[in-house]
Structures are given as C-alpha cells and as structure tokens.
Amino acid sequence: MPGQVNLVWRHYPLPFHEPLASKEAGASICAYQQGGSAGFWKYAEAIFKLTKGNNQGIPAEKGVHPLLKLATEQGLNVDQFKSCIANDAELKKQIAADIKDGQAAGISGTPGVIIINKDNGKVNIVAGALPVEAVIDAVKQVMDK
C-alpha cells in the first residue's frame, strides 16, 4: 500500500493522562516545527518508547527536564524548542483544535484511527490498540471499490 495511504496525526490527550499527555503533545508539535514530519515522527516514537504507564511520564534525571533532554537527543535546537514549549497558549490552541476535529469525526478515545478513501468515500473507524495486521485489513476494506 505504499503511496496509497496518508497518515494524519491528531493529538487527543485524555483527561486521566493529564497534565503529561498535553505536555508531550505540545513537545511533539515543537519537534514538528523544527524537523517537519520526520522530526515529529522521530520525537513521537521516542515519547511512546520512554513514557511509563499510569501517568508517570518520561523518567526524569535530576535537574534535566525529560522533554528537553529528548529534544537534545533528537538533534533539535534546544533554545528554539524551549521557546516553543513556553508558548503554552498556542500549543493548547492547536491541541484543542485536534481534539475538536477528532470528536467531530467520531473519536472518543485513543488510539483512534479514521481511514478514508478519498476516491470512493468509504470510511472505516478503528478504535483501540490493534495489531498492525488489523489496521492493514481496515485499510484494505476501504480500498475495495
């Protein structure tokens, strides 16, 4: 399916994962601003790898903010990154728009994947963490004409 599917990310931090979920979402927006899509995906993947469950977030080292440390490890300009994450109002505005967009599309939790075939109009909503094979099957269902 290479070249046939686009993946669009919308942040959807859930209340019971706060305040960490919104901070991590904001940090990934800042990574995108510096590194484009590749920078976003690299940063987001690292967040998911490092984040502990039960709202524990990314383990911090003494005196080092974990999201800044991650930005450094990802090769981002830390001064620009700090400036970006300090713009809390703008980040919250972007995240709120993503949540509204997700809700309008029928998403109520994470992960939620909306698969749309722009050629035939078929839609498939996949809820929950599923094996990649299940997502591929969902894509195939909308690809059938």
- Cα–Cα–Cα angle for 37, 121, 41, nearest 5°? 15
Single pTM value for the model: 0.81
Q: Quick one: 42 exposed, middle or buried, by C-beta within 10 A (0-12, 13-18, 19+)? A: middle
Verify that 64 and 100 share a domain, yes or no. yes
Q: How far apart are the first and last CA of the chain?
A: 15
Q: Under a CB-based contact definition with an 8 Å cutoff, are residues 133 and 116 in contact?
A: no
Other beta carbons less than 10 A from residue 64's beta carbon = 10
Give the total number of structural domains in the chain.
2
Verify that 11 and 81 share a domain, yes or no. yes
Q: What's the confidence (pLDDT) of residue 53?
A: 67
Q: At 4, which CATH number? A: 3.40.30.10
Q: What's the confidence (pLDDT) of residue 1?
A: 55
**Segment 14-66, tens digit of pLDDT:** 888 888 889 999 999 999 999 999 999 999 999 888 877 666 667 667 766 88
